[in-house]
Structure 1
């Protein structure tokens, strides 16, 4: 076995070395690393806290409902602190979009052309997801599947799209946000929560926090581009103040400890974002800024950099299809009955251990989805001679012009 693997490993190392050499020395690889960490954090987080519980007792077609181990085991809330990394993604997105817009303006590129290029990279892979799940939902309903189950599956599969819509809105507004202080959207979130939770305002008011909450890290990314966050002091201030504020809100203001939504919970920190989610995001952004130098050094290793570049080249494909990979594995497992970690209630540590064992299978299913649909993200499968392109200082930090982060 070792003799068979040796040529493969040699080719992998050779490819990684070539990519390392071809990458421009002025490229800030920490930006790409942070984006990859954010994407993989969301994927692993969903795989760990999303359960599809099956009821096969009374119907020929099993019904599925969503559940979360965080509902039964609240002591596991710290899992959500590690894997809810959307704030980091918006931080990097704001940084990259601002740099890209400033660079495009310096080159004389019109705003509509710049925006069209960025949004096409975001939404090109969406069509395949919508088409597949339209056909899948129709087929399930025609074969007698429970409508509530179909609704659950479609909602789970398409849930990543809300993120793209918010991200696209902020991207479109980038020229207006390049000088906006994060304190303004933070004040909006604070006042909306005061009205909702303190003065009994209608719950729909909370949806104002959907753009405002993610605007906070996005504008921090713009401040990063302006050079206002280059000092380590900025990172420590964000980390310390964000963590302290979050702890206070959870301990004394009644906010949930979990930073992700839990089915059946009265309040979700994520849907829509609450003040606790935003202050937690500030802490994450501070930590991300503090880790930049270490990430730059780590990315000098060819294999590490090659892995990060691969994730960035397929960032939207991974993000859009990871829930489908989970559900495909769950559906295939139904042929064996109620499988622990897949279809059973996530109400004990045994389920957690079983779910951890299923993670490699989810990753394999996602790899299949990636192989089938990655060309949608990369412009119809046109081969490129290099994974990265050289760009002048100040250009957007994207491993490829096809990458949409």
Structure 2
């Protein structure tokens, strides 16, 4: 508590605390949403398995317009990335140094998850567990990494995309939305492969709005870069976004549900569709409408300390929340008391409360163990390149290019490893739970970034 009080007291007066609240709320909603819609059953071999209840609860599909909060996370990610990059440059640092240090907050908690899962899977395999069953368990536990792949691609693109924003402002997300529309035409009319770019264009569009929000707080920025932050602008965005969402889903060809439901004509989130971007517009409008009251509430010490506490371990909570579900299911199944009521039945609804409480207890234990890894990576320190001064930070042009190339290669290895794991089928025989090439690529990328963070990359 003392450290939380210190962090709260040290908060700069100009900090947009609302951004931190939104990040905490977005991840909390993801965790509770995944847990709440989980359906537990048994496969033909009698082993426990799980899936989403959304396919059996079509009446709940409009609720995903609020529950699909990944756009909120990319919005606040854009704000935070623009703010940290700008601060880094003001201190004499550069984009490469920013990227290297930024990786610690994302990679260290992720590495802890993957190493623990791989070691646990290896032990289970050595004790005679079926490699297919080992992979299935790890596959469920690593579902959150699907989202992290997209975000880890967006982060290294922040310097060039922020430069585009500084030059062209809100025209950049407009162009990106146009590219998403083109991709959706491919999904609806063919060829479907045309929509692959939507994984990048859709999330980049929302990320760019985070840049505009950050720049809107500076009075010396040109109007083209400003995001209107008034309540009137919020009401307009909310109305326009909801109207577009209704037209695209109820009248148009897009599913009402914004999360994956097997059998639907397309998935609005994978890749992001125009319908998801319409929902993002409505969510942005609601965010702006609540910005004033939320900002005043966060000036109070108690709420702000709570937000700080969640944000120090927010990625750990996200990464481990499905591992908590796997552990609980395994424990209850081993004890022979695993409930498997029919979806929508009174027993299923009654089971939601003890289910959520038990998961919260297990996740709290996991966060207590692994949260310090993320908390340490978030402790602020003067940038290494800034401490050595501008001349040392620049170094020789040749070495700077090598350092940048190594940083990009490190991120590429991490993304490739996570993507390969996500694309590998659930029933693949993997004694380590993760495909060996994916694990090697990820660890090589993480190792390269760790080496650069240690200062080796600045000795040129």
Residue 36 of structure 2 is matched in structure 1 by 48
SS at match of 1:66: strand
C-alpha distance in 2, partners of 1:24/1:219? Answer: 24
C-alpha distance in 2, partners of 1:281/1:208? Answer: 18
Are the structure 2 counterparts of residues 21 and 265 from structure 1 closer, same or farther at C-alpha, using a change threshold of 3 Å?
A: same
For residues 299-378 of structure 1, the aligned pairs below 5 Å read 299-337=298-336, 339-340=338-339, 343-378=340-375
2:191 equivalent to 1:201: yes
C-alpha distance in 1, partners of 2:282/2:351? Answer: 31
Offset at 1:47?
1.0
| Partners of 1:67 and 1:263 within 8 A in 2 | no
| RMSD between superposed Cα atoms in Å | 2.5
TM-score w.r.t. the length of structure 1 is: 0.82
SS at match of 1:173: helix
Residue 127 of structure 1 is matched in structure 2 by 111
C-alpha distance in 2, partners of 1:145/1:240? Answer: 54
Are the structure 2 counterparts of residues 28 and 360 from structure 1 closer, same or farther at C-alpha, using a change threshold of 3 Å?
A: same
C-alpha distance in 2, partners of 1:67/1:211? Answer: 27
For residues 142-291 of structure 1, the aligned pairs below 5 Å read 142-143=126-127, 145=129, 148-178=132-162, 179=165, 181-197=172-188, 199-202=189-192, 204-227=193-216, 228-229=226-227, 230-291=229-290
C-alpha distance in 2, partners of 1:284/1:149? Answer: 39
C-alpha distance in 2, partners of 1:176/1:380? Answer: 25
Offset at 1:43?
1.0
TM-score w.r.t. the length of structure 2 is: 0.73
C-alpha distance in 1, partners of 2:328/2:265? Answer: 30
| Partners of 2:37 and 2:54 within 8 A in 1 | yes
Residue 427 of structure 2 is matched in structure 1 by none
Offset at 1:15?
7.5
Offset at 1:130?
0.7
| Partners of 2:297 and 2:303 within 8 A in 1 | yes
Residue 73 of structure 1 is matched in structure 2 by 57
Cα deviations by residue, 1:48-80 (Å, 9 ceiling, x for unpaired): 12334224xx64xx4233322111111122442
C-alpha distance in 2, partners of 1:126/1:75? Answer: 35
Are the structure 2 counterparts of residues 284 and 152 from structure 1 closer, same or farther at C-alpha, using a change threshold of 3 Å?
A: farther
Are the structure 2 counterparts of residues 26 and 52 from structure 1 closer, same or farther at C-alpha, using a change threshold of 3 Å?
A: same
Are the structure 2 counterparts of residues 223 and 112 from structure 1 closer, same or farther at C-alpha, using a change threshold of 3 Å?
A: same
Residue 87 of structure 1 is matched in structure 2 by 71
2:53 equivalent to 1:64: no
| Partners of 1:99 and 1:225 within 8 A in 2 | yes
Offset at 1:142?
4.7
Would you say how many aligned residue pairs link Structure 1 and Structure 2?
A: 364
2:87 equivalent to 1:103: yes
| Partners of 1:125 and 1:377 within 8 A in 2 | yes
Offset at 1:349?
4.9
Offset at 1:128?
1.2
